[in-house]
Amino acid sequence: MECLYLVTGNENKYKEASEILSEYGIKLCMANIDKLEIQSPRLEDIALFAARIAFFQLKKPLIVDDSGLFINSLKGFPGPYSSYVYKTIGYEGILKLMSDKDNRRACFKTVAVLVYPPIEKIFVGETCGYITNSPRGSGGFGFDPIFVPEGYNQTYAEMGIEEKNTISHRGKAFRKLGLWLAKNLPGFKGNNPGSNITI
Ligand code: ITT
């Protein structure tokens, strides 16, 4: 069996996803190749298209994870534009946009697409909570310092990776993926002889 690749340039995402899939005995490798991202309001469309194109390049079983933060009072912004917004105005910019908003509700969503022809499967995970008034914590990545999941007091950035994984959007999507693989492709462990790829 070959390695199961996560196509991403984001090492934090890779670490989170590999920890989750390791619970199912699956070894994930990282393929840091350019992802082609179409514009769409739906993460499902963006991830599926990127995964199909990546498979043409890699020709190996792979996953693409497309995630976003959807803020209610900003009508779902930054949503599918989260990567661009993070690189440009960052979470500080989001806090400024929200300075006069009382409704702080927001949801993180992950869409993980598995492509292993003829298999194409989409797994979705969502965790809702609220946006803080100021950043807290030094762990995690991206918008973690300004997001508190429902039922908790800590931001994702104040939790360890293990705790974040138990409740996070990515945790939910990848556990569904791990369960599906265990049930439908029990021999697939993706554990050799793969290695990480950078193109
Ligand atoms: P790849 O496309 O290379 O996988 P990316 O970082 O651009 O990496 P996404 O497009 O899926 O990944 O994510 C969009 C942005 O949303 C990302 O840049 C982060 O800032 C943020 N994000 C995604 N998952 C997150 C998480 O678990 N915690 C905090 N922020 C997250």
Longest dimension (CA), the chain: 54
- The residues spanned by each domain of the chain are 4-196
Q: pLDDT tens for residues 33-48?
A: 988 899 999 999 999 9
Q: What share of the chain is helix, strand, coil (3-state, %, to 5)?
A: 40, 25, 35
Whether 66 is a known active-site residue: answer yes
Mutation probe of ligand 1 site: the residue of 5, 6, 10, 163 with most atoms within 8 A of C-beta: 10
Task: For the chain, give the percent of residues with pLDDT over 90.
Answer: 88
pLDDT of residue 138: 97
Q: pLDDT tens for residues 86-136?
A: 999 999 999 999 999 999 999 999 999 999 999 999 999 999 999 999 999
Domain at 4-196, CATH from 3.40.50.2300, 3.40.50.1980, 3.90.950.10, 3.30.420.40: 3.90.950.10
Q: What is the pTM (predicted TM-score) of this model?
A: 0.94
Confidence of residue 1 (pLDDT cuts 50, 70, 90): very low
Residue-by-residue DSSP string for 28-68:
EEEEE--------S-HHHHHHHHHHHHHHHH-S-EEEEEEE
pLDDT of 197 strictly over 80: no
Distance 7 CA to ligand 1 centre (A): 12
CA distance 6 to 33: 10
Q: Which residue's alpha carbon is at the smallest distance from atom 21 of ligand 1? A: 142
pLDDT of residue 193: 45
CA distance 179 to 20: 11
Q: Is the CB of 10 under 6 A from ligand 1?
A: yes
CA distance 42 to 52: 16
Mean pLDDT of 12-23: 97
Phi, psi angle pair for 3, to nearest 5°: -70, 150
pLDDT of residue 110: 98
